[in-house]
Amino acid sequence: MDEVITELQSLNIGKVKANEPLAHHTTIKIGGPADLFIEPSSVENLKKVMEIIEKNALPWRVIGRGSNLLVSDKGIEGAVIKLGPGIDSLSIEGTEITVGGGHSLVSLSTMISKKGLSGLEFASGIPGSVGGAVYMNAGAHGSDISRILTRAHILFEDGTMEWLSTEEMEFSYRTSCLQKKRPGIVLEAVFQLSEGDRTSIVAQMQKNKDYRKVTQPWNYPCAGSIFRNPLPNYAGKLIESAGLKGYSIGGAKISEMHGNFIVNAGNASAADVLALIQHVKDTIFSLYEIEMETEVEIIGRN
């Protein structure tokens, strides 16, 4: 690993660190160290990073702003690549926008709303990156990424790049082909929006933000929704009806505001969160015979 770090540093490709605690890079403030942590400063440097990773047969994964993610206390083997500045370009042509995978989804939706473009109102409170949102088909308020994305520019681990259409992304509820079938990195996304009334769009954005503030625990570190909704049921309502709001294990607690959120109430470990997740699964199945599936992505060493 030392040789890989030396090679990456010699190329001046951005930030390169060994044994970087991922608690510093996740919204729930939990996670052990990554063997190798890389924050490329450009798309070209990201391609160089992937070439070195493939040459050395290193396991790897990408993170954006660290939401929807629970990292093991033992950390992650191999390389963790964080997309951010340098991979956050934005261009607007009429009602079509092309945006880099490292761009903040919240700041994008805010910026676009002020230009009178409609379609991203649902994303006003989703604390992730554009790349992460495309990767998991993020959504809220009755809409999701699949409804506005026309194509995505993907870098695959063998170094090839390809534009995938909405159909080729194989979107479904909180999933895409990138999660298992075709692992890759979202370099850019192209969204087709529509012209609208700026005042109405901004007002809807604010309404969505206000709703999140009064219904979700924004004042505690958390990873977002923990469970997928087992439609036609809703995870939060099932957890609430089971009397689990406020239930805690160690430093992890089910939010008293919303049953589908687990918060880091103070020095929580990933083990605490995982034990709480299992308790919810067991309780809901015992009461309702419904299998709960996690929406949060759980990664790292066992």
Residues designated catalytic: 174, 225, 295
* Sequence-ordered alpha helix ranges (H) in 151-269: 198-215, 235-241
Do the beta carbons of residue 264 and residue 284 sit within 8 Å? no
**Phi-psi category of 292—alpha, beta or left, where left has phi over 0 and alpha has psi -120 to 50?**
beta
Query: From CA 116, how far away is CA 96, in angstroms rounded?
Result: 12
Query: From CA 104, how far away is CA 170, in angstroms rounded?
Result: 23
Do the beta carbons of residue 103 and residue 130 sit within 8 Å? yes
CA dihedral 48, 52, 55, 61 (to 10 degrees): -100
Query: From CA 45, how far away is CA 86, in angstroms rounded?
Result: 9
Structure tokens given for 35 = 């063997």
Do the beta carbons of residue 297 and residue 67 sit within 8 Å? no
Query: From CA 69, how far away is CA 182, in angstroms rounded?
Result: 20
Do the beta carbons of residue 239 and residue 254 sit within 8 Å? yes
Query: From CA 236, how far away is CA 244, in angstroms rounded?
Result: 10
Cα Rg of the chain, angstroms = 19
Helices (H) and strands (E) in the chain, counts: 7, 19
